[in-house]
Amino acid sequence: MYSRGVETVPFHEKNIQNENTRAFYRSVVVPKSRHVIRTGIIEIRDTGTLSFSQIHFFPNNDSILNDSKGENQTRRMASPQAREWIGIQQFPAATQTKLLELLGKLKQEDVNSLTILVMGKGGVGKSSTVNSLVGERVVAVNAFQSEGSRPVMVSRSRAGFTLNIIDTPGLIEGGYVNDQALEIIKRFLLNKTIDVLLYVDRLDAYRVDNLDRQIIKAITDSFGKGIWRRSLVVLTHAQLSPPDGLNYDDFFSRRSESLLKVVRLGARIRKQEFQDSGIPVVLVENSGRCNTNDSGEKILPNGTAWIPDLVKTITDVVSNGSKAILVDKKLIEGPNPNERHKFMIPLILAFQYFFVVKPIQKAIKDDAKKENKPLWELRDMGLANRKF
The CA distance from 84 to 97, in Å, is 17
- State how far the Cα of 16 lies from the Cα of 232, in Å rounded to an integer: 37
Check residue 159 and give left, alpha or beta (phi > 0: left; psi -120 to 50: alpha): left
Average pLDDT over every residue of 231-244: 92
Does 54 have pLDDT greater than 50? no
| Interval 185-194 mean pLDDT | 94
pLDDT digit string, tens, across residues 287-298: 988 999 999 999
The pLDDT assigned to 184 comes to 93
* Confidence band of 144 (pLDDT split at 50, 70, 90): low
Q: Which CATH number fits domain 83-333: 3.40.190.10, 3.30.70.20, 3.40.50.300, 1.10.10.1100?
A: 3.40.50.300
pLDDT over 50 at 2, yes or no = no
- On whether the CB atoms of residues 128 and 286 are closer than 8 A, the answer is yes
Cα distance between residue 125 and residue 282, in whole Å: 13
Quick check: 332 and 221 in contact, CB under 8 A? no
Backbone angles phi, psi at 182, to 5 degrees: -65, -40
3-state secondary structure the chain: CEEECCEEECCCHHHHHHCCCCCCEEEEEEECCCCCEEEEEEECCCCCCCCHHHCEEECHHHHEEECCCCCCEEECCCCCCCEECHHHHHCCHHHHHHHHHHHHHHHHCCCCEEEEEEEECCCCCHHHHHHHHHCCCCCCCCCCCCCCCCCEEEEEEECCEEEEEEECCCCEECCEECHHHHHHHHHHCCCEEECEEEEEEECCCCCCCHHHHHHHHHHHHHHCHHHHHHEEEEEECCCCCCCCCCCHHHHHHHHHHHHHHHHHHHCCCCHHHHCCCCCCEEECCCCCCCCECCCCCEECCCCCEHHHHHHHHHHHHHCCCCCCEEECHHHHHCCCCCCCCHHHHHHHHHHHHHHHHHHHHHHHHHHHHHCCCCHHHHHHHHHHHHHC
Per the prediction, the chain carries an average pLDDT of 77
Size (the chain), residues: 388
Q: Is beta strand 281-283 parallel, antiparallel or unpaired with respect to 231-236?
A: parallel
Pairwise pLDDT comparison (16 vs 304), residue with the higher score: 304
pLDDT reading at 338 higher than 70: no
Q: How far apart are CA 207 and CA 364, in angstroms?
A: 70
**In this prediction, what percent of the chain has a pLDDT beyond 70?**
69
- In 3D space, the residue among 231, 256, 236 whose CA is nearest the CA of residue 316 turns out to be 231
CB-based contact 154:165 (threshold 8 Å): yes
Q: pTM of the full predicted structure?
A: 0.68
